[in-house]
Structure 1
Amino acid sequence: MKKSILLLALFPFFGCAEMQQVMNQLPQTQQMGLDISGGLKEALNNGISKQVTKLTATDGFFRNEAVKILLPEELRKVDATLRKIGMSKLADDGLRAINRTAEDAVKEATPIFVDAVRNMSFTDAKNILMGNESAATSYLQSSTSTALYGKFNPVIKNSYAKVGADKIWSNIITKYNSIPLVNKVNPDLTDYTTTKAMEGVFKMIAVEEKDIRNNLAARTSNLLKQVFAIQDKK
């Protein structure tokens, strides 16, 4: 994809020299180019449709340890202090609210990933195919991070109000800052949650790609079978 966004060890194919030899043996036609890029697009689209959508479910982030958003360093002392003075429920509500916000945002920002995949060129695909084990990750992050952040951030901000996280955290921060002798805090939770939501999305896309790469049964189309067969010859 060209944009998300958030994790992923994609396409650990041959070394460059070996892959170049394989690529040189393939017919250098436009159709072959479309097949290669098409196969990679389909793999990434599968990651979006099968895995990223899981994050939009209730507690899709909160109950998935791989992507669960934990508190930033600045707020861990807030969490610990609240629990010490008998406000564990409020602390729990605050953590869940952050994750609920990310779930809500992913529903609206997914089209960025779809557009990015659609815009992948043959050159992009070939570089990914011939690259190192993190080539697709680097491609996705470099080509989507700016646009993904720009989309996620306002959605996250609106989601804080939509799911009630703004009121929960306003209450938490007010109570904490009213405790004698503590250093007052005023964290930018929108920025933090945006970054963590992006990381979570990328991680879930990686789950599906890894399955396609390692599991023949996961290659559910002839195109996936043809393109990823190149990898199997290593």
Structure 2
Amino acid sequence: MLPKSLILIAPLMLCAATFQDALNSAINTTSSTQKSTPTNSLTSQSSATSGVKEALSLGAQQAISLLGKEGGFLNNSAVKIPLPASLKPVATAAEKLGGKRYVDDFSKSMNTAATKAIPKTASILSDTISSMSVEDANAIVKGSNTAATDYFKTKSGTKLLSAIMPIIKESISENQVMSSYQSLKGFAGESSVISGVSNNALVGQASSIAKGFGLGDAVPSGDESIEDYIGRKTLDGLFYMIAEKEKALRSNPLSSGNAIIQQVFGK
């Protein structure tokens, strides 16, 4: 038979043991949570970064593929480079006098120059994606429908312009753009004389446009040359196509067929 004193303290010993077990369990649970939370967070951040990079890559690849093929700019009304506003009066006059083909030739020469330049953007876009930080990726996931495209513009806009300008200048130096412009200007001036239309204002306007585009005298300070105009419009088209792809992926991640993109943008 157990001593009376032992019988009295047994419940106390049992309670103490139970409390210690509970305390140990709580400590272990807290420790496990503290260890797993950073890991889960890192996994989530890694997934976000991978998803954004995949989305950017898809957008860039599709844009370059579509714009870099023959007629990529010319046959796409959303990105087709229009005649500069300052040239439209001459173009309108030429069309009225039966010279629409001269206007079309000039438009085609500009858009062809843009198409030739687009493949040069591939490596820069790829490098921009590779250098993306976790912070950048998280901001893009939480950002607007074009946050990834805006990231491209900010991080690589200047580099992209520098990369495509030599190709555009080469197209101009080969007289594709310049000869088309001169043909348009010449037709508008000569036809207005033949038809009896006063051409003084038209010829003066054409001369002014030539200087503004760098096709005649020196370009006045602050004016945009034709090559700068084409370069700017080329990047506008590129970013437009990337933005369209980004918006499509965000609205329907399943369409990508990519598990990581679906995980990140499907939330």
Could you state the TM-score of these two structures normalised by the residue count of structure 2?
0.70
2:129 aligned residue = 117
Instruction: State the Cα distance separating 1:98 from its structure 2 match.
Output: 0.8
Q: Relative to structure 2, which stretch is displaced further, 33-42 or 130-139?
A: 130-139
1:49 counterpart = 2:61: yes
Shift in CA distance, 133/205, structure 1 to aligned 2, threshold 3 Å: closer
Instruction: State the Cα distance separating 1:199 from its structure 2 match.
Output: 0.7
Instruction: State the Cα distance separating 1:164 from its structure 2 match.
Output: 2.2
1:96 aligned residue = 108
1:101-150 per-residue CA deviation (whole Å, 9 max, x = no partner) reads 11111022222111111111111111112223443333222212111111
Instruction: State the Cα distance separating 1:177 from its structure 2 match.
Output: 6.6
1:180 counterpart = 2:200: yes
1:11 aligned residue = none
1:209 aligned residue = 246
Q: 1:198 aligns with which of 235, 244, 262?
A: 235
Instruction: State the Cα distance separating 1:26 from its structure 2 match.
Output: 9.1
Instruction: State the Cα distance separating 1:165 from its structure 2 match.
Output: 2.5
Shift in CA distance, 48/113, structure 1 to aligned 2, threshold 3 Å: same
Instruction: State the Cα distance separating 1:207 from its structure 2 match.
Output: 2.2
1:37 counterpart = 2:52: no
1:69-111 per-residue CA deviation (whole Å, 9 max, x = no partner) reads 1111111112112122322111111111111111111022222
Q: Relative to structure 2, which stretch is displaced further, 149-158 or 63-72?
A: 149-158
Instruction: State the Cα distance separating 1:215 from its structure 2 match.
Output: 2.1
Q: Distance in 1 between matches of 2:189 and 2:161?
A: 30
Instruction: State the Cα distance separating 1:32 from its structure 2 match.
Output: 3.1
Identity of aligned residues (%): 28
Q: Relative to structure 2, which stretch is displaced further, 145-154 or 125-134?
A: 125-134
1:20 aligned residue = none
1:42-67 per-residue CA deviation (whole Å, 9 max, x = no partner) reads 11111122233111111111111111
Q: Is the 8 Å Cα contact of residues 47 and 208 (structure 1) preserved in structure 2?
A: yes
Q: Distance in 2 between matches of 1:112 and 1:177?
A: 44
Larger radius of gyration: 2
Could you state the TM-score of these two structures normalised by the residue count of structure 1?
0.79
The count of corresponding residues between Structure 1 and Structure 2 is 206
Q: Is the partner of 2:266 in helix, strand or coil?
A: helix
Q: Is the 8 Å Cα contact of residues 101 and 163 (structure 1) preserved in structure 2?
A: no
Query: Which blocks of at least 5 consecutive residues in structure 1 are unaligned?
Result: 1-23
1:67 aligned residue = 79
Q: Superposed, which structure 2 residues align to 1:148-167 within 5 Å?
A: 148-161=160-173, 164-167=176-179
- RCO (CA 8 Å, sep 6+): is it higher in 1 or 2? 1
Q: Distance in 1 between matches of 2:175 and 2:52?
A: 36
Shift in CA distance, 134/51, structure 1 to aligned 2, threshold 3 Å: closer
Q: CA RMSD in A?
A: 2.4
1:143 counterpart = 2:143: no
More helix by share: 2
Q: Is the 8 Å Cα contact of residues 97 and 188 (structure 2) preserved in structure 1?
A: no
2:226 aligned residue = 189
Letter in 1 for 2:160: L
Q: Is the 8 Å Cα contact of residues 81 and 233 (structure 2) preserved in structure 1?
A: yes
Q: Distance in 2 between matches of 1:53 and 1:160?
A: 23
Q: Relative to structure 2, which stretch is displaced further, 107-116 or 57-66?
A: 107-116
Q: Is the 8 Å Cα contact of residues 157 and 190 (structure 1) preserved in structure 2?
A: yes
Shift in CA distance, 26/141, structure 1 to aligned 2, threshold 3 Å: farther
1:19 aligned residue = none
